[in-house]
Structure 1
Amino acid sequence: MNWRQELERQWYAGGAWSDLLRPLGVMYCAAAARRRAQAQRSPAVLPSIVVGNLTVGGSAKTPVSMALLQYLQAQSWHPAAISRGYGAHPPAEPYAVMPGDLPQRAGDEPLLLRSVAPVYLSRVRHAGIAAAAAAGHDIVVLDDGFQHLALQPSLSLVLLQGEAPLGNGRCLPAGPLREGKAALQEADALLCDPAAATSPDLTDIARPIFRYEQQVTRLSPLAGPEQELPLALLCKRQIHAVTGIARPERFRHTLESLGAQVSMHAFPDHHVFRQHDLAQLPPPLVMTSKDAVKCRHIDDLPETWVLEIGIRWESAFRVWLDQRLASLRNPQ
């Protein structure tokens, strides 16, 4: 375990390094609160739904954004996704992501979002939304936009996971928080996995709390995503899991719940895979959809499968969301 992994462990389990860094965390929280209080925010030219979190690292923002985009399409909206494009190097901004783009140009998460809806990259979110409006879209979903304080969104959803969804309650670098717990009061609703929904960390937050779950939807070959493989292929099978995501242990647990015997090969979040990263691993390899978009251009890979994850939210959230969408479609 390197120093970074140890520090991240202490964000949830406690330890001397986190204690030593606590004064810096207090200053970070204070600066974040001041920035939020002083922000000059303005609404977008289109209805906008922000999907964000309070902690660093993965919290299912992209899968939830994809589920929202698909839900909006089913409700006869014409949505687009807006992304900062972490790790992307587009030729200009705003940039409309193309299906054949490489991850070096478009980023991994925008490419995954592009599989369900058009995506516009822009660090200035208002400019990305304006580009979506010019292309005929009537609503946008912002993947990871809760801390983008130039925008006053129509709806703001914050995702929380795990029994300690706020970790040790400290801000960076002493803990995992991007800003203090009080910022949750700025959200319109909290979307929590089953563990977070009952966490005492959230008992004093006066916002609606809805549950969601991540579910395995299908297994497919990397080289032939249109083909569906039986999940039973994983049962009692020795597989090599390859990840470049923020929380690789969650992927391990998912595979083990399907009966797989897992050897993990965890790379840093957003890692851009090269052939030499994978060529020496014995098949079968299994990866997430987010990693798959970074590997489809690699030739001569061993047998590689993609485990796709979907989102199911409780019916109460659907009722709440429908009411809010109705008000956006027909503003008073």
Structure 2
Amino acid sequence: MGAPHFWFTPADRPTVIARLLSPLGTLYAMATARRVTRSGIKLGVPVICVGNINAGGTGKTPTVIALAMHLIARGVQPHVVSRGHGGSLTGPVQVNERAHTADQVGDEPLLVSAFCPVWVSKDRAAGAQAAVASGAQVIILDDGHQNPALQKDISIVVVDAIKGFGNGLCLPAGPLREPVETGLKRTDFVLSVATNAAQHFSDAAQHSPAFAAQKTFAETWGSKIKVPHLEGFVEPLQTGMDWEGLRVLAFAGIGHPEKFFQTLKGLGAEIVRVEALEDHQPFTPQLLTRLENEARILQAQLVTTEKDAARLPEHFRPKVLALPVRLRIADTAPLDAALQQLGL
């Protein structure tokens, strides 16, 4: 099931259901608080944590990829450490994009492994130690904000610019793993992510929906953010593919599939049907057969995200187009200053 609507009502006007569930949210927050107080190990290399306060997708995977590419451009070799959500391997194991499947290591690590070395480990500390032994100069800890296994040198909390922190309540009353003020006390940067800004952040981009979303986020939540606020924009990668007028049946199993559908629409694709799947939902033979048959009847091309494409069976991949996207940070100067302090 998707996130309930009442999670994303204004924080100053929670619904009756949210208020009734708020005592359970308080208990959830207390459990998180106890967990994060444990002391983690200190590695011999810097650790940069990319995490969130919200449950579900906020743009962490594009952020991890963008951060890895940024570090590589600075002459530093990053290794990503992930728990491998949805994968069967406990690790530590280095992901091999040619030998491993999403069922073994998870779709996100498989996607990220095309950009830099990735280690999957249910024990984050063991995974990080294996990465260091293999030559990592910096660890990017994926989805580790509430994981105390490692001491972090930089912590980045990623949040969707449109949904923000929802109604500001903790699970199950709201979308949060911990209260905003509590989670941001352990944070060095907040990165709000929007989609579909005009390329190169031109003057025209200032009037785009993506910049409007960033402005709204800053107005709503800015008073609670006491650390540098970075603005990120997820945009389609320019591959030469002409989407204009292409009839598509779009399907996605990510945190917020509607953003993917909107991106396709913005590229000019004619969306004849969409299929919003659960995050990391398995592609059963029955589901794939249905999608293929519907696309044939509608005379439409099947299209999905890069992350979903990583989970597709090998025999089915030629039938589906994947839309690659990349995250760009409007101003990296505050992040660069922090990296420089770490010698990166």
2:204 corresponds to: none
**2:46/2:137 contact within 8 Å kept:** yes
Q: Which amino acid aligns with 2:306?
A: S
Q: CA deviation at 1:323?
A: 2.1
1:87-109 deviations in whole A, cap 9, x for unaligned?
Answer: 1112x521111112111111100
- 2:26 matched to 1:30? no
CA distance in 1, matches of 2:219, 2:43: 34
- Structure 2 contact 50–145 (Cα < 8 Å) conserved: yes
Q: Does structure 2 conserve the Cα–Cα contact (< 8 Å) formed by 1:241 and 1:287?
A: yes
Are 1:307 and 2:323 an aligned pair?
yes
TM-score, normalised with respect to structure 1: 0.87
State which of 5, 16, 29 in structure 2 corresponds to 1:9: 5
CA contact (8 A) 2:35 2:146 kept: no
Deviation for aligned residue 1:321:
2.3
- Partner amino acid for 2:97? P
- Compute the displacement of 1:300 (Å): 7.8
**What CA deviation, in whole Å up to 9, does each residue of 1:13-47 have, x standing for no partner?**
354433331221122123323433x3223322321
- TM-score between both structures, scaled by the size of structure 2: 0.84
Shift of 1:296: 5.2
Residues 275, 298 of structure 1: 8 Å contact kept: no
2:284 corresponds to 1:270: no
* 1:264-303 superposed matches below 5 A: 264-278=274-288, 279-282=292-295, 283-295=300-312, 297-299=314-316, 302=319
- Map of 2:244 onto structure 1: 235
What's the CA shift string for 1:86-135, capped at 9, x where partnerless?
01112x52111111211111110000010101110112211111111111
**Where does residue 224 of structure 1 map in the other structure?**
none
Identity %: 34
CA distance in structure 2 between the partners assigned to 1:310 and 1:149 by the alignment: 29
Query: In structure 1, what is the equivalent of residue 83 of structure 2?
Result: 84
Which residue of structure 1 aligns with residue 342 of structure 2? 328
Q: Runs of 5+ in structure 2 lacking a partner?
A: 194-210
1:52 and 1:143 in contact (8 A); partners too:
yes
Q: CA deviation at 1:68?
A: 0.8
Q: 2:161 is paired with a residue of what secondary structure?
A: coil
Quote the Cα distance in structure 2 between the aligned partners of 1:130 and 1:30. 30
Give the Cα–Cα distance (whole angstroms) in 2 for the partners of residues 300 and 125 of structure 1.
31
Considering only aligned residues, what root-mean-square deviation do their CA atoms show, in Å? 1.9
Structure 1 CA distance for aligned equivalents of residues 310 and 50 of structure 2: 21
Query: What is the number of equivalent residue pairs in this alignment?
Result: 310
Q: Is the 8 A contact 2:309 2:317 kept in 1?
A: no
